[in-house]
């Protein structure tokens, strides 16, 4: 097949690196695909294995396109939990590499086809909490090393522009992820997810972990998942005072609080008549605990003002949340065309065509 090299060079020139983009302003990254794909009907809750890249590739491609339309500049390959250990749990280890490669190829395809035909998005490979990392257990650490290595290798092979290591609750596991990403030579994003004890599980403080990640040369250091705006922002404020590197902030859109810092133990005290059979709101009965879009907007506005340029939303995120974050950071995205227009509402609108008697119904409706 004829290959036009000059086109290739043009194309590469047009595509800025992650750090170039962050130096110039906000960069949006949609995450939290497990929850959204589950809601769309292509993944089992609880088990949470992203088989969707093999079983319903079109559904995954559509999801990426929806987030791209909402303003995501990064298309993150959906390989979260698509690691060797999880595949062993479900007895499908032989599908590990095909799953990873399929997810990476789908992400690449969407990233290479931006909606406006302009600068391509960045495709990100992904590694995350292994769930087997154990303090004082060298064997588990060697195993995690292998797991990360093979996933990073596949991501590089499939043309990733950057690598995201996320949702780490052990400091040392996060450092290990960073080390492996750096050896691959791609830009690195490392975001941590401290559990309810408000420190990393190996005893390192949240701030010290972020400081160490910066010291070790991560391009972006920050937090993702587990925590909503209320319990993530205090750490970000403190970290921003200390860190000089680019920072990332990707909370979950749920109302976590001082008493319940993460979504794992969030109670539903709001007249729930039918609690989940497994006894907790996580992960299938969190719906009434959602932040509204204005709360997400406020979070993103403050983060942006603090100079945190890598922004997104994790588990629970819908394209609407990503649009809110992008707009809060001052961007106009394709989905901005459909931002709320209450002025034309049939009862609450201010448009002169709205009938007066309908406006009067408003409070009784």
List contacts with Zn ion (CB under 5 A).
32, 225, 314-315
* Nearest of 45, 50, 146 to residue 98 by alpha carbon: 50
Residues 6+ apart with CB under 8 A from 120: 11, 14, 15, 111, 112, 113, 114
Shortest distance, position 35 Cβ to Zn ion, whole Å: 7
Please identify, using beta-carbon distances, which residue of 32 and 71 lies nearer to Zn ion. Answer: 32
Residues 125, 151 contacting (CB under 8 angstroms): yes
C-alpha 215/C-alpha 39 separation (Å) is 39
Identify the DSSP state of 63: H
The dihedrals phi and psi of 220, each to the nearest 5 degrees, come to -130, 130
| Minimum gap (Å) between residue 23 Cβ and Zn ion | 27
Report how far residue 2's alpha carbon sits from residue 4's, in angstroms, rounded to the nearest whole number: 7
- Cite the beta strand spans of the chain per DSSP E: 27-28, 74-76, 122-128, 162-168, 188-192, 220-224, 246-250, 310-311
For Zn ion, which is the closer residue by CB, 32 or 228? 32
CB nearer to Zn ion: give 32 or 248. Answer: 32
Pick between residue 18 and residue 225 the one whose CB is nearest to Zn ion.
Answer: 225
Residue showing tokens 């959204």 = 36
Minimal distance, residue 309 CB to Zn ion, in Å: 20
Q: For Zn ion, which is the closer residue by CB, 290 or 346? A: 290
d(CA 255, CA 288): 9
Q: In the complex, what is the shortest distance from the CB of residue 248 to Zn ion, in angstroms, rounded to a whole number?
A: 13
For Zn ion, the closer CB: 120 or 318: 318
Min separation Cβ 333 and Zn ion, Å: 21
Measured from the CB of residue 205, what is the shortest distance to Zn ion in angstroms? Answer: 22
């Amino acid at each position: 097949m004829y290959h036009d090299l000059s086109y290739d060079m043009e194309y590469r020139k047009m595509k800025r690196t992650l750090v170039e983009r962050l130096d110039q302003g906000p960069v949006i990254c949609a995450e939290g695909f497990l929850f959204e794909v589950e809601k769309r009907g292509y993944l089992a809750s609880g088990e949470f294995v992203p088989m969707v890249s093999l079983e319903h590739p079109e559904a995954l491609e559509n999801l990426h396109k929806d987030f791209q339309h909402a303003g995501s500049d990064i298309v993150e390959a959906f390989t979260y939990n698509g690691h060797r250990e999880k595949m062993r749990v479900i007895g499908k280890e032989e599908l590990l590499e095909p799953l990873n490669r399929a997810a990476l190829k789908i992400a690449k395809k969407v990233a290479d086809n931006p909606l406006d035909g302009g600068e391509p998005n960045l495709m990100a490979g992904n590694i995350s909490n292994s769930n087997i990392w154990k303090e004082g257990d060298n064997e588990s650490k060697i195993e995690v090393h292998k797991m990360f290595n093979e996933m990073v290798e596949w991501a590089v092979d499939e043309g990733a522009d950057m690598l995201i290591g996320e949702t780490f609750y052990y400091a040392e596991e996060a450092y290990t992820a960073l080390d492996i990403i750096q050896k691959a030579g791609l830009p690195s994003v490392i975001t941590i997810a401290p559990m309810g004890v408000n420190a990393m599980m190996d005893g390192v403080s949240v701030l010290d972990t972020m400081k160490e990640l910066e010291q070790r040369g991560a391009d972006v250091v920050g937090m993702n998942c587990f925590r909503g705006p209320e319990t993530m922002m205090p750490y970000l404020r403190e970290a921003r005072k200390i860190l000089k590197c680019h920072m990332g902030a990707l909370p979950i859109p749920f109302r976590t609080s001082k008493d319940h810092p993460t979504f794992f133990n969030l109670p539903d005290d709001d007249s729930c008549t039918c609690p989940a059979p497994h006894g907790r709101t996580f992960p299938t009965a969190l719906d009434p605990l959602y932040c509204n879009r204005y709360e997400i907007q406020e979070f993103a506005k403050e983060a942006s003002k603090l100079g945190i340029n890598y922004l997104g939303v994790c588990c629970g995120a819908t394209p609407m949340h990503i649009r809110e974050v992008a707009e809060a950071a001052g961007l106009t995205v394709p989905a901005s065309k459909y931002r709320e227009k209450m002025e034309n509402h049939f009862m609450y609108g201010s448009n002169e065509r709205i009938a007066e008697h309908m406006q009067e119904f408003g409070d009784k409706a």
